Amino acid sequence: MSDPGFILEHRASIILYNLLKSRADDRPFLIPANVCPVVPATFLKARVPFEFVDIELTTFSMDLDLAQEALTNRPGGYGGVLYVRNFGIVSEHGSKGLEIIKDGFADLLVIDDRCVGWPEFSAEGTGDIVLYSTGYSKPAELGWGGFAYLLNPEVEYGRHPLDYQPSCHERLLDAFRTAIDRQEAFVYEDSDWLGDTGWATLPTEYARLVEEKKAAAKAHKDAINKVYFENLPRDLCMPEGSHDWRFQIVSPAKERILQAIFADGLFASGHYATLSHLFSNAACPSSRHYEARIVNLFNDFRFDEAMASRVAEIIRRVT
């Protein structure tokens, strides 16, 4: 924890905001089409433009060939790339692709976003910065906290304090939900939705809390995932290694599955919606393909093995 490149904030999105503000670069970033809505909102708050890139059908993360094509076609036109390790999968394919981009376009800020993966207290990643979260719904969920390692000592990081009102954060999320449900353009209205609540935790104490939560969460998720694997058709389940954040299934009957689960008093969710059409005319067919098919089954402390067994039974019944 004595690493000079270690950064700890109340939320991972605050780290992203501070990076963007410290860089003071008005060139657009490339971000994945299926990213959490808080990410583009953070760019909007920092007044940094962005463009969406479709995902790969095999890795579920940003298609780095498409990203490289955009960078090549517009030399010097982009400020950075934010690569999200979807489902927490740290693939060698993704790391190599990021290395190629970083080597070929040295002036970019390359962010290795591992917020939905297991947090690791080591300065290992690809690009200029590796980012983790222990906030709400993350694998090692404390309900707050995000940290990062600056892998490139030349990257500047300064704190840019913001006021925060929880009601503003809720309004922002409601606005995104409305735009997604209605499939209409999202109009950003700035407010005090992102900021520090005045908490104070030493990095060593934070790391201790995270490691304790991580160990307990891994044991719990392993038990829940075992129920899903034993009771669901294997052709619905995404590969091993895809289930640290949620247990992922892929089915054209997504909506029918979700309706049946909720009708039985349980819960699940669809994966992050494709956001490109809410901000632009960018076509992202691969992201749209999976948006219509991926179901996130819960495996955190809000779910137990009996609930998972009931969910599996429902899915078998309706598919």
Give the domains, in start order, of the chain with CATH numbers: 6-182 (3.40.640.10), 214-318 (3.90.1150.10)
Q: Where are the beta strands (DSSP E) in the chain?
A: 6-9, 29-32, 50-53, 80-84, 109-113, 129-133, 146-150, 247-250, 269-270, 294-297
2 has a pLDDT exceeding 70: no
In this structure, of 5-14, 242-251, 273-282, the range with the lowest mean pLDDT score is 273-282
**What is the Cβ-side half-sphere exposure of residue 313, based on CA atoms within 13 angstroms?**
8
pLDDT given for residue 282 in this prediction: 84
Angstrom distance (rounded) from CA 290 to CA 39: 19
The one-letter amino acid code at 278 reads L
pLDDT given for residue 200 in this prediction: 72
Could you tell me what percent of the chain has a pLDDT over 70? 99
pLDDT given for residue 241 in this prediction: 87
Q: What pLDDT band is residue 224 in, cutting at 50, 70 and 90?
A: very high
pLDDT given for residue 277 in this prediction: 87
- Per-residue pLDDT of 77-95, as tens digits, reads 999 999 999 988 888 888 9
Q: What pLDDT band is residue 60 in, cutting at 50, 70 and 90?
A: confident
Give the closest residue to 118 by CA, choosing from 55, 2, 210, 248: 210
197 has a pLDDT exceeding 90: no
- Per-residue pLDDT of 91-102, as tens digits, reads 888 899 999 999
The one-letter amino acid code at 250 reads V
302 has a pLDDT exceeding 70: yes
pLDDT given for residue 6 in this prediction: 96
- Mean pLDDT for 159-169 is 93
pLDDT given for residue 1 in this prediction: 57
pLDDT given for residue 272 in this prediction: 78
Exposure string (b/e) for 267-278, b if CB count within 10 Å is 16 or more? ebebbbbbbbbb
pLDDT given for residue 107 in this prediction: 92
Angstrom distance (rounded) from CA 25 to CA 195: 21
198 has a pLDDT exceeding 80: no
Angstrom distance (rounded) from CA 269 to CA 245: 12
Angstrom distance (rounded) from CA 230 to CA 9: 39
